[in-house]
């Protein structure tokens, strides 16, 4: 293969292809300041709609896995000043009980498991859940319910879904920045963490996310630390509708492997410090992501969301 010929053809290979969304620039925002202002305004509007008889207004922020809770929860608390913060993780089964529950589907194999039939409710202790719900009922003012499965604790007057691309999840696993849901396995072998996500976590959380789609007020892009973006649920639905009716590309990712070489590095102008590149994924909905462009604001979401919303 003549590498020189391909070098001449591919300098315009776009590693960050964006889908320009028409007519919805006002329904997307970037940066914590803008996001906080939009959420505060929406909360006040919903509060006025519920009437004075309601003692608490609930902002529910449900999440996908591997999100940097310290950043996201910390920024929301600082900007919205809730009177009560309820974390959905406090309703989870203990880690040992979860491990026992999941052992059948996890198997002893390092790589292969069983596609689970569990649902998100199976991970929750009913007594703990009831206790969290009782604390919300007793509150007066703004309550922030946060975390994976937060909408099980309370549906919320305002519902935000904090999403995460699966490739970024894998990178956080490799860097030991994230662990599996309900676990403390930061130091565990990457393949075992990935296996638990692939065969269990992502199946459970995708079922939960699909059920929430019609109710989402906002989708929060949490892929870039310190650089969040957000769009309305209506904007996501319309953006994916537009995408499904036109040619588009997913965001590619590249990865080293034992059989890899230098060809992709040179042709696609990739990170030169990597030893080699063996993988190039450019169109795998399970792994890749989509970049939706609303004017100057760009929202990254898992491309599997498009399959869920518009499978035909």
- Is residue 8, in this structure, part of any structural domain at all? no
Q: Within a domain: residue 260? A: no
Q: Is residue 12 part of a domain?
A: no
Q: What is the 3-state secondary structure (H, E, C) of 74-88?
A: HHHHHHHCCCEEEEH
pLDDT in tens, 28-57: 999 999 999 999 999 999 988 876 456 899
- What is the total count of domains within the chain? 1
- Whether 127 has a pLDDT exceeding 80, the answer reads yes
Model pLDDT, residue 8: 47
Report pTM. Answer: 0.93
Percent composition of the chain: helix, strand, coil (DSSP 3-state, to 5): 45, 20, 35
Band of pLDDT at residue 312, cut at 50, 70 and 90: confident
252-297 confidence digits (pLDDT tens): 999 998 999 998 888 888 888 889 999 988 888 888 999 999 999 9
Looking at the predicted structure, is the pLDDT value of residue 7 above 60?
no
Distances (CA, A) of 162 to 72, 96, 147, 217, 237: 9, 27, 9, 11, 16
Angle, CA of 59, 146 and 127, to the nearest 5°: 105
Q: What's residue 271's pLDDT?
A: 85
pLDDT for 26: 95
Q: What is the mean pLDDT of the chain?
A: 93
The whole-number average pLDDT for the span 143-147 is: 98
In whole angstroms, what is the distance from residue 124 CA to residue 119 CA?
10
pLDDT at residue 221, as a whole number: 98
Q: 3-state DSSP call for residue 23? A: coil
pLDDT at 5 over 80: no
Question: Could you tell me what percent of the chain has a pLDDT over 70?
Answer: 95
Is residue 194 a part of any domain in this protein? yes
Split at pLDDT 50, 70, 90, the class of 220 is very high
Q: Six-digit token pair at 87? A: 């974390």
pLDDT tens digits, 58-114: 999 999 999 999 999 999 999 999 999 999 999 999 999 999 999 999 999 989 999
Q: What pLDDT does 11 receive?
A: 61
Structure tokens at 64: 């996908």
The parent domain of residue 150 ranges over 32-227
286 in any annotated domain = no
CATH number for the domain that contains residue 37: 3.40.50.300
Q: Is residue 172 part of a domain?
A: yes
Tokens of 248: 């588009």
Q: Going by DSSP bridges, is the β-strand pair 279-281/253-255 parallel, antiparallel, or unpaired?
A: antiparallel
pLDDT at 286: 87
Give domain status of residue 249, yes or no.
Answer: no
Amino acid 119: pLDDT: 97
Evaluate if residue 4 carries a pLDDT over 90. Answer: no
Q: Is residue 1 part of a domain?
A: no
């Amino acid at each position: 293969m003549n590498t020189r010929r391909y070098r001449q053809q591919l300098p315009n290979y776009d590693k960050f292809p964006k889908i320009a969304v028409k007519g919805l620039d006002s329904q997307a925002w970037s940066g914590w300041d803008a996001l906080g202002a939009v959420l505060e305004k929406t909360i006040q509007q919903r509060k006025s709609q519920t009437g004075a008889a309601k003692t608490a207004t609930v902002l529910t922020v449900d999440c996908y896995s591997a999100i940097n809770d310290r950043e996201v929860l910390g920024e929301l608390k600082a900007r919205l000043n809730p009177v009560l913060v309820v974390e959905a993780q406090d309703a989870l089964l203990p880690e040992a009980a979860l491990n026992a529950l999941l052992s059948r589907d996890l198997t002893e194999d390092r790589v292969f498991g069983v596609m689970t039939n569990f649902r998100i409710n199976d991970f929750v202790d009913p007594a703990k859940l009831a206790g969290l719900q009782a604390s919300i009922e007793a509150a007066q003012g703004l309550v922030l319910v946060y975390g994976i499965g937060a909408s099980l604790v309370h549906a919320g007057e305002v519902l935000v879904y904090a999403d995460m691309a699966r490739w970024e999840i894998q990178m956080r696993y490799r860097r030991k920045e994230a662990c599996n849901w309900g676990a403390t396995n930061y130091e565990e072998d990457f393949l075992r963490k990935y296996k638990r996500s692939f065969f269990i976590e992502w199946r459970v959380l995708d079922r939960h996310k699909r059920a929430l789609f019609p109710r989402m007020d906002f989708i929060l892009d949490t892929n870039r630390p310190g650089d969040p973006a957000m769009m309305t649920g209506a904007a996501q639905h319309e953006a994916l509708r537009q995408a499904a009716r036109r040619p588009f590309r997913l965001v590619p990712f590249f990865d080293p492997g034992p059989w890899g070489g230098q060809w992709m590095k040179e042709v696609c102008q990739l990170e030169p410090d990597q030893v080699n590149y063996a993988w190039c994924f450019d169109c795998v909905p399970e792994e890749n992501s989509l970049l939706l462009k609303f004017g100057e604001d760009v929202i990254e979401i898992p491309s599997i969301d498009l399959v869920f919303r518009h499978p035909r």
